[in-house]
């Protein structure tokens, strides 16, 4: 008798546990708000593009960078040579040598005038004149040295230096080409980089600054059943002017620095919200390419054919959207 009571109690406990597990393994289908995403192409751009300009005119003798190279501020990009500068340097040296000779002669005359004045055979007027001629010659030599320094500085300006640290976008000159002062020798993008989007005008009211977007990785290769690898960014700016039926928006993302400028990548951007019916991924069973979901009814359990949509997030949980086959209030039986 005691064994029978024990068996009955155990059976009731097992039945209660099974019933509780069955109740906990049900998912009630209710409409949830889903953010509508639109896939567009974003173009990588640099907020700053700095031209490296030639400071003198002449012939390009050396080009030390190419498109895509990374340069640091102050690096030599190209060398420009003006043959007239070498001639001007020779002329400055010759003039300086002549003035140094005049200065030496003026110093000799000054020494002689001072000796004569000391001995009493020379006049003060002659000493004053020799002193003046020596001062004039000294100033002429100083002026010639300054003029030569100007010519030497012009020769140094033949080196075209990188104005900022960044990536070289274009180098529109070649060896032997003639450039004028102020002409672009290279264009450098120091960053920061961002993505520029161009969206249809109908989405203008739904795009807001600060909204989160998903950016596809470069060379995206998706295997069977794999989700695309994405990075997260945010809309940093929405431009108020619509041109040619398009609204422009900028997206900031941390890992965009290794992209090429003007490279395009896929971006999913929120453009609205809608109601959708969703179920947990484990509730879906696929047989011969057909998707089924088991639901609980008053007469028991039954499998229904469903048409699935995309994967969405509901309160940080992963769900699969059901396009048809279920209604709000259906109780889905989970395995």
Angle among Cα 263, 269, 272 to the nearest 5 degrees reads 160
Over residues 240-257, the mean pLDDT reads 83
Domain 38-47+189-272 matching CATH 3.40.50.1360: the answer reads no
Q: Is the pLDDT of residue 223 over 50?
A: no
The pLDDT score that the predictor gives to residue 293 is: 92
Phi, psi of 197 (to 5 degrees): -110, 150
Q: Where are the domains of the chain?
A: 22-35+276-333, 38-47+189-272, 83-157
- Cα torsion 260, 266, 272, 275 to 10°: value is -150
Over residues 47-73, the mean pLDDT reads 90
Tell me the C-alpha distance between 196 and 41, whole Å. 9
Over residues 40-63, the mean pLDDT reads 89
CA distances (Å), origin 244, targets 161, 206, 222, 268:
40, 18, 35, 22
Q: How confident is the model at residue 270 (pLDDT cuts 50, 70, 90)?
A: confident
The pLDDT score that the predictor gives to residue 12 is: 45
Q: How confident is the model at residue 36 (pLDDT cuts 50, 70, 90)?
A: confident
**Between these two residues, 226 and 182, which has the higher pLDDT value?**
182
Q: Is the pLDDT of residue 10 over 50?
A: no
Q: Is the pLDDT of residue 212 over 90?
A: no
CATH class of 22-35+276-333: mainly beta
- Both tokens of residue 132? 């003046």
Supply the DSSP string of 195-262, one letter for each residue.
Answer: EEEEEEGGGGGG--TT-EEEEEPTT----TTPPPPEEEEEEEEEEEEEETTEEEEEEE-GGGTTSPTT
DSSP helix/strand/coil, 189: strand
Q: How is domain 83-157 classified at the architecture level of CATH?
A: Orthogonal Bundle (1.10)
Phi, psi of 183 (to 5 degrees): -80, 145
Tell me the C-alpha distance between 53 and 64, whole Å. 15
Mean pLDDT in the chain? Answer: 83
Of 6-10, 248-252, 284-288, 294-298, the range with the lowest mean pLDDT is 6-10
Kindly report, residue by residue over 77-134, the tens digit of the pLDDT.
999 999 888 888 899 999 999 999 999 999 998 898 888 888 888 788 888 898 999 9
Q: Is the pLDDT of residue 15 over 50?
A: no
Tell me the C-alpha distance between 123 and 2, whole Å. 151
The pLDDT score that the predictor gives to residue 311 is: 83
Q: Is the pLDDT of residue 20 over 50?
A: no
Kindly report, residue by residue over 176-196, the tens digit of the pLDDT.
999 999 999 999 988 788 888
**CA neighbor of 248 nearest in space, from 216, 211, 200, 206:** 200
The pLDDT score that the predictor gives to residue 220 is: 44
């Amino acid at each position: 008798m005691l064994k029978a009571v024990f068996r009955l109690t155990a059976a009731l406990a097992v039945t209660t546990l099974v019933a509780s597990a069955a109740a906990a393994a049900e998912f009630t289908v209710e409409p949830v708000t889903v953010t509508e995403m639109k896939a567009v192409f974003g173009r990588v751009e640099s907020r700053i593009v700095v031209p490296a300009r030639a400071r003198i005119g002449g012939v390009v003798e050396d080009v030390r960078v190419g498109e895509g190279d990374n340069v640091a501020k102050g690096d030599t990009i190209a060398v420009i040579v003006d043959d007239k500068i070498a001639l001007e340097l020779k002329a400055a040296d010759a003039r300086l040598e002549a003035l140094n000779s005049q200065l030496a002669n003026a110093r000799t005359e000054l020494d002689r005038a001072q000796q004569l004045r000391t001995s009493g055979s020379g006049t003060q007027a002659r000493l004053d004149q020799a002193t003046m001629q020596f001062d004039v010659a000294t100033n002429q030599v100083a002026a010639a040295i300054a003029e030569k320094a100007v010519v030497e500085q012009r020769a140094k300006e033949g080196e075209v230096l990188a104005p900022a640290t960044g990536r070289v976008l274009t180098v529109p000159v070649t060896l032997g080409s003639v450039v004028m002062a102020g002409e672009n020798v290279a264009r450098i993008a120091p960053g920061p980089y961002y993505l520029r989007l161009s969206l249809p005008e109908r989405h203008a009211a739904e795009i807001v600054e600060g909204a989160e977007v998903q950016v596809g990785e470069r060379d995206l290769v998706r295997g069977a059943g794999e989700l695309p690898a994405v990075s997260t960014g945010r809309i940093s700016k929405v431009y108020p002017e619509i041109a040619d039926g398009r609204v422009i928006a900028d997206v900031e993302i941390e890992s965009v620095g290794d992209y090429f400028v003007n490279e395009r990548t896929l971006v999913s951007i929120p453009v609205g919200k809608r109601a959708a019916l969703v179920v947990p991924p484990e509730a879906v069973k696929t047989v011969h390419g057909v998707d089924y979901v088991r639901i609980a009814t008053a007469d028991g359990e039954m499998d229904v054919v469903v048409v699935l949509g995309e994967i969405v997030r509901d309160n940080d949980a992963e769900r699969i959207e059901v396009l048809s086959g279920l209604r709000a209030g259906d109780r889905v039986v989970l395995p």
